[in-house]
Amino acid sequence: MIEGDPDTIVTVTDLWTFSRDITSKNPNWVLVKTETPSEN
């Protein structure tokens, strides 16, 4: 815990975008973007 009340649960939603070269023999994915979607 970095800050806040340890007895309060806060739900956080993050959107992670990954990419992979499907022509490569390397099976690893690369994290290319993270964002917190805006609530409407």
Residues 6+ apart with CB under 8 A from 27: 20
C-alpha 25/C-alpha 22 separation (Å) is 8
Per-residue pLDDT tens, the chain, 40 aa: give them.
Answer: 678 888 998 888 999 999 999 999 999 999 999 999 887 5
Contact 18, 31 (CB under 8 A): yes
Distances (CA, A) of 32 to 1, 8, 20, 21, 28: 26, 31, 10, 12, 13
What per-residue confidence (pLDDT) applies to 33? Answer: 98
